[in-house]
Structure 1
Amino acid sequence: MNSQRIREVFPDMVVLKNPKRTEFFSNLSLPSYMRDWLVMKFSDSTGETDIERVSSYIKTYIPNRDDFEQLKFRLINGESVRFLARIRVAVDIRTGKTTFELPDFGGNRSGAGGIVKYSVVDEWQDTLLRENENWGIVELIWNRDYSRKKANGYVSMEDYSPFCPYTVDINVYREGREKFSTEEWIDVLISSADYNPNGYETKRQKLFVLRRLLPFVERRINLIELAPKGTGKSYIYHKISKRGWLISGGTVSRASLIYDNAKKTGGLITRFDFVAFDEIQTMKFDQPGQIQTALKDYMEFGEVKGFDSKTEADAGIIVLGNIDAGRFDTSANMVEEINPIFRESATLDRFHGFIPGWEIPRMHRGLVADGWALNTEYFAEVLHSLRDEMLYAAIVEECLDIPERPDMRDLTAIKRLCTGFVKLLFPQAKSKQDIDPDEFVEYCLEPAMEMRGAIKKQLCIVDPKEFDVPGKRNVPNIRYKY
């Protein structure tokens, strides 16, 4: 990978990554997007970082949950407190006030919430009110509400500045892509996602890693990945973007995942670009029949109707599980040990693609990003922005020669996967002519067909009467339209 060219093409958005510094931040339990932001903030032009200043900043401005009781004590004793936090903001129609809560500190139930000052909302409404969650530096004070007979205390947000210190310009990113060959750009993507492209033995391995990025860049892509332990599947969904959510334990309820009827608030699928279920073999679900029914509707149509609401969202559903070496075969039953919610054929059919994680090497020191690369926070925000770009779906439509009467779920899956690959690998494209046909086939169409084909094989195994019949067992023979 040409680190110097990355610095020349994206001079304001690169950061020097190295394994030792990555380990330092990992020990602090800080995600990659926050690490790169801090590194950029406290690095010189050579990429050298002042670790002492970083440590001081973290201690001062990035408290953990155990610190919040001390922060509350300081607040009620007249101090203002200022720190970096994840924040949710909502306008209360009944009171006319704008409220906030800090979910990482327990939210309103633990006192981590309050009222946002009008001037703060007015200045930052495009940031605070447009999206379900944000990161930023908040300044809080404690007040008393004397409008009631018995005065109550409450927390007020007096100031806010967004965590993302820049505006993402997709056109700059697209223009930058034109300076690299496709193979060079694959390395740019790999390093931006916090891996070292030089640590992989083959291009094929790199391309399997890129499949994990599809939910970051395309709406409502549903994937299953089964892999041995230690291949980094949890990391990529948990650490490189603040816009995804990894569920790694506990019991999942319909209220937390889809819609809380008591609170009248949407669940995780309404707040994030994707929701990933880790260790799916052992995960528990409250009222699994209800969740399965709701997920089938959601994964198909992007909405769930129930109780007194209709929940609409565009988060992808990602299922992650560990698998023994003896099951490294998409022609054998690989899903019999995952949670029954996802194993039933009607639900399984709604997954667009399968990632054989055993094709990706186990994480080792040589696979940790090392050298100049795009700031992970910037990279993740670019991918998020590309989710809204409709042009790429039209390009894919132009490229595909579709046979008569294809299965609609197969066709939808292949189109959606192809669109995600185009956004990742050819963001500069404005028309079909901007992508070399052979590269479209190699990097977009063939992987999409393979990913959906693996799902189809599993369907034939778990429900042979329905799927292992002529005309249904294979994906449509979609080709490039020359």
Structure 2
Amino acid sequence: MDFEEKIQNCLKDRVVLKPLTRWNEAYKEFPRYVMEYLVARYVNPDYPVIGQQKIDRILNEHYVESGAKELIKSKIKEKGEYTLLGQLQVRLDESRDHYWAEVPVLGSNFVRIGKRVLNEYGEVLLAGGAWGTMVVEYDPQYELKGRLYPFYVREFTPFQITRIALDDYVEKRQNFTTEEWIDLLIQSIGFNPAKVTEREKWLMLLRLVPFVEANYNLIELGPRETGKTYTYRNTSNRSFVISGGRTTPAVLFYHRGTRKIGILGQRDVVFFDEIANTSFTDPDATISVLKDYMQTGKFSRGGPGILNPGKYRFGRKP
């Protein structure tokens, strides 16, 4: 039995053939885990075209750019409900004693969320959100404190595993040698292990350490086009990539106006891409808080102290 057959036999429905996710260049903007979910659900590896065409129809109908938000709002209103594909995040608004969904495609942070969705997926939606399909209804009668909130997320199906049972993976690991397991990990993050050296494999695995090790800080000094940004953007929805530009303390830590925790409090991994090209509105204060967070895993900025012992961050210079 060769390596590929062993993977198929041992892991079965967990296996996604990554080449099947790359039939359309227009889908490059989607995180890999989103496309892999769709391929795993709809594509038969022996007859991929039919499933790929179905995915084309789904994305054409249900995925929209944020610039088309007014059109989508109109469709929801006129049809009464509409199925959308995109990101969903939930927060608790203590002042109103209400849970709100944030739906970027609608450009709204005040979308009502169904209790069943909260009960089933609240843990992941309240801790950074998830990609998935959602059914959004329109109810022009709902008011809260004199303000109308017509949009309502009735159903949600995530595009990623919300609960991972590691015991099964530990059991399956016994069927592979160490070299085979390393190659499987390299394949899983989107690279071909046959095209890289053993040292390069270890460097690629080192990039994954912040996902599993608390309060781990890493700087990678390396050439362009070696998969650094790709890894952090496509491996998990629990990571966040900051690609240069200006970054504020409110975005990173805590927004005093909205009383919303920033990226470092929401994501497991924060990756500064081209950190040399990133500027901070208040460099001294920001770097001081960052240093404290990198050392202790907690930060405080004019609001509640945030302790995240399970949070990790990653930065690099070009």
Length-normalised TM-score, structure 1 = 0.61
**Which position in structure 2 is the counterpart of 1:188?**
184
Aligned to 2:206: 211
Q: Distance in 1 between matches of 2:262 and 2:250?
A: 6
Question: 1:122-154 CA distances to partner (integer Å, 9 max, x unpaired)?
Answer: 44444444x232223211122234657966343
Q: Percent identity?
A: 27
Which secondary structure state, in structure 1, belongs to the residue aligned with residue 276 of structure 2? coil
- Return the alpha-carbon distance in structure 1 between the equivalents of residues 297 and 145 of structure 2: 47
Question: How far has the Cα of 1:165 moved from its partner?
Answer: 5.9
- Contact persistence 1:144–1:151 (CA under 8 A): no
Q: Distance in 2 between matches of 1:6 and 1:189?
A: 11
Q: Which has the higher strand share?
A: 2
Is the Cα contact below 8 Å between 2:241 and 2:273 reproduced in 1? Answer: yes
SS of corresponding position for 1:186: helix
CA displacement at 1:228 relative to structure 2? 1.4
When residues 120 and 306 of structure 1 are mapped into structure 2, their CA distance, relative to the original with a 3 A threshold, is closer
Residues 38-437 of structure 1: matches in 2 within 5 Å? Answer: 38-44=38-44, 46=46, 48-49=48-49, 50-102=51-103, 104-105=104-105, 110-111=107-108, 113-129=110-126, 131-145=127-141, 152-164=148-160, 167-200=163-196, 202-313=197-308, 314-322=310-318
Q: Which residue of 2 is the match for residue 470 of structure 1?
A: none
* C-alpha contact 1:83 1:137 (8 A) present in aligned 2: yes
| Deviation by residue 1:397-435 (Cα, 9 ceiling, x = unmatched) | xxxxxxxxxxxxxxxxxxxxxxxxxxxxxxxxxxxxxxx
Q: Matched residues in 2 for 1:257 and 1:8: separation?
A: 44
Report which structure shows greater RCO (CA 8 Å, sep ≥6).
1
**Cα RMSD after superposing both structures:** 2.4
Aligned length, in residue pairs:
315
Amino acid at match of 1:262: G
For residues 145 and 311 of structure 2, the distance between their equivalents in structure 1, rounded to whole angstroms, comes to 45
Question: Are 1:245 and 1:274, in contact at CA under 8 Å, matched by a contact in 2?
Answer: yes
> Partners in 1 of 2:213 and 2:26 — Cα distance?
28
**1:356-375, Cα deviation, whole Å (9 max, x unpaired):** xxxxxxxxxxxxxxxxxxxx
When structure 1 is superposed on structure 2, of 8-17 and 49-58 the one drifting more is: 49-58
Shift of 1:268: 0.4
User: Which amino acid counterpart does residue 190 of structure 2 have in structure 1?
Assistant: D
Letter in 2 for 1:303: K
Gaps of 5+ in 2: none
In structure 2, what is the Cα distance between the partners aligned to 1:180 and 1:209?
A: 19
Asked if the contact 2:34/2:131 (under 8 Å) is kept, the reply is: no
Q: Distance in 2 between matches of 1:83 and 1:146?
A: 21
Equivalence map 1:10-29=2 (5 Å): 10-18=11-19, 21-22=21-22, 24=24, 27-29=27-29
Q: What are the Cα deviations for residues 304-350 of structure 1, in whole angstroms up to 9, with x where unaligned?
A: 1232321222432212232xxxxxxxxxxxxxxxxxxxxxxxxxxxx
1:100 is aligned with what amino acid?
Answer: A
1:12 is paired with a residue of what secondary structure?
A: helix
Counterpart-to-counterpart distance in 2, 1:190 and 1:114: 39
Q: Which residue number corresponds to residue 7 of structure 1?
A: 8
Measured in 2, the distance between the counterparts of 1:164 and 1:43 equals: 17
Residue 403 (structure 1) aligns with: none
CA contact (8 A) 2:21 2:35 kept: no
Q: Distance in 2 between matches of 1:147 and 1:317?
A: 41
Corresponding residue number in structure 2 for 1:461: none
Partners of 2:271 and 2:203 lie apart in 1 by: 18
The 8 Å contact of residues 264 and 311 in structure 2, kept in 1 or not, is answered as yes
TM-aligned CA deviation for residue 287 of structure 1: 0.3
The superposition leaves residues 4-54 of structure 1 with CA deviations (integer Å, 9 ceiling, x where unpaired) of 101111011001222x74362564411111111111112225373532112
Distance in 1, matches of 2:145 and 2:32, equals 48
Q: What is the CA-CA distance between 1:115 and the residue it aligns to?
A: 1.2
TM-score w.r.t. the length of structure 2 is 0.90
Counterpart CA distance in 2 for 1:165 and 1:311 is 26
Q: Distance in 2 between matches of 1:301 and 1:195?
A: 34
Instruction: Determine if contact 2:299/2:306 at 8 Å carries over to the other structure.
Output: yes
Confirm or deny: 8 A CA contact 1:133 1:271 kept in the other structure.
Answer: no
CA spacing shift, 1:3–1:86, aligned 2, 3 Å: same
The one-letter code of the counterpart of 1:14 is: V
- CA gap of 1:147–1:58, structure 2 versus 1, over 3 A, is closer
The separation in 1 between residues aligned to 2:143 and 2:52, in whole angstroms, is 48
1:245: how far off? 0.3
Which amino acid counterpart does residue 57 of structure 1 have in structure 2?
A: I
